[in-house]
Amino acid sequence: MTPAGTPSGSEAVADHGPSADVVCRHCGRRQPYAALGRRCPFDGSLLLPPRGVWRVAVGPLTGEVLIDRFAVGAAVARSGALTLYRGIDRRDGRSVLVKVVAASADCAAIAGQRLADDARFFEAGQIEGFAPLLADGCDHAGNLFVVLGIAGGRPMPQLVRESGPLPALRAGRIAIALLAQLDALHGAGLAHGELLSESIVVHGGPDGTPEVSLTTAGAQISTDEPGLGALGVAGDLFAVALLVYEMLLGRPVDAADAARDLKLLGARALTATMRDQPATAEVVEVVCRALGPEPRFASAAEMRQAFEAALAGGRRSLAVVAA
């Protein structure tokens, strides 16, 4: 039986404005009389305005075929006007990711413009690590879409939802792969600026190590812009730390949540609340440094090296236990 106020089926949390009930970002339950910033009584997650992500299995486009080529499958994540779908290229059977902006959404014009900007960025294909653009357009109902080539894998919200808390070794490897992509982006003179779990797909590399693809072009902040460029790079690194924290906890995390946890508990106590796995303490230390006060990491390469050192320490601990 579905609890009162819980979205069911393909229903998603809608944005009814700043005066609406707050909603749990994790489980989706509405809290009619609760205050912003309070905790959900069901799972302890932060209560937010009802514009947070609600993950769905069936969406309005599930079952459609776009431009007689791309079969739209399950919806795997939704944020505002944008819904992400899994799909199949019927020409060769390969997996694709379909990003759709619903024509009926309140902010369809703005979201549609961002989708068009993303399409132009992907079409240029000048930076490695971004999913290749296969098609973009508008369906018969006026919904805007882009289709991106994805080598299997799962969007990060789906990965965390299905796997639960990830072992620190795996979360660290995903962070290393993501930081390698950001290092290339920053080296090309751009900061992403809007890195969210919904914009990352995780898949296995040829040797079994995780690889990531970015599915949004972000704000494309020039790293040469005085002041703003440095903030853009720092924001990307901060976002990576939040994403690792999400993977370790197995649920979405708000920046205010993470800052409070780190301030109240600190790295050592925070580690004690997580699964007892190799490298957990070392990975949490890197996250704490990235989210905490100065000194933070100066570059994606520096942060990547810190995660590599953390995993090396965890593997040594694992070898000692095995012996």
Tally of CB atoms within 10 A around 19 = 6
User: Residue 18 — very low, low, confident or very high, per pLDDT cuts 50/70/90?
Assistant: very low
Report residue 235: phi and psi, to 5°.
Answer: -65, -40
- Take residue 21 and report the two structure tokens written for it: 């009930």
Res 273: pLDDT:
64
Q: Which amino acid is at 150?
A: I
For residue 250, being part of any structural domain is answered with: yes
Residue 273, exposed/middle/buried by CB under 10 A (0-12, 13-18, 19+)?
exposed
48 plus 71 within the same structural domain = no
The mean of the pLDDT values for the chain is 75
220 plus 201 within the same structural domain = yes
- Which of 149, 170, 203 represents a domain boundary (last residue)? 149
237 plus 317 within the same structural domain = yes
Three-class SS of residue 238?
A: helix
- Cα(264)–Cα(258) distance, integer angstroms: 10
For residue 60, being part of any structural domain is answered with: no
44 plus 124 within the same structural domain = no
- Cα(178)–Cα(109) distance, integer angstroms: 30
Regarding beta strands 30-31 and 22-24, do their DSSP bridges make them parallel or antiparallel, or are they unpaired? antiparallel
- Cα(90)–Cα(323) distance, integer angstroms: 50
97 plus 181 within the same structural domain = no
Going by the DSSP 8-state scheme, the letter that residue 172 receives in this structure is: H
193 plus 255 within the same structural domain = yes
Task: Please determine, for residue 215, whether its predicted confidence score (pLDDT) is greater than 90.
Answer: no
Three-class SS of residue 221?
A: strand
Res 319: pLDDT:
43
Strands of the sheet containing 144-149, edge to edge, are 65-66, 70-79, 82-89, 95-101, 144-149, 133-138
3-state DSSP of 1-22: CCCCCCCCCCCCCCCCCCCCCE
- Please tell me the total count of domains within the chain: 3
Res 46: pLDDT:
52
- Cα(316)–Cα(27) distance, integer angstroms: 37
- Cα(246)–Cα(253) distance, integer angstroms: 6
Res 35: pLDDT:
55
Q: pTM of the full predicted structure?
A: 0.69
User: Residue 7 — very low, low, confident or very high, per pLDDT cuts 50/70/90?
Assistant: very low
**Rounded percentage of the chain residues whose pLDDT exceeds 70:** 71
Query: For residue range 105-138, what is the model confidence (pLDDT) as tens digits?
Result: 777 777 788 788 888 887 776 677 788 889 988 8
Res 300: pLDDT:
95
Res 10: pLDDT:
32
Query: For residue range 45-75, what is the model confidence (pLDDT) as tens digits?
Result: 555 544 433 344 556 788 889 999 999 988 8
113 plus 165 within the same structural domain = no
Lowest mean pLDDT among 24-33, 112-121, 162-171: 24-33
The answer to whether 110 and 188 are in contact (CB under 8 A) is no
Task: Please determine, for residue 274, whether its predicted confidence score (pLDDT) is greater than 80.
Answer: no
183 plus 309 within the same structural domain = yes
User: Residue 24 — very low, low, confident or very high, per pLDDT cuts 50/70/90?
Assistant: low
Residues β-bridged to residue 133:
148
Task: Please determine, for residue 166, whether its predicted confidence score (pLDDT) is greater than 50.
Answer: yes
173 plus 316 within the same structural domain = yes
Its domain, for residue 118, covers 65-149
Residues contacting 319, CB < 8 A, separation 6+: none
For residue 58, being part of any structural domain is answered with: no
Query: What is the CATH number for 253?
Result: 1.10.510.10
For residue 14, being part of any structural domain is answered with: yes
75 plus 108 within the same structural domain = yes
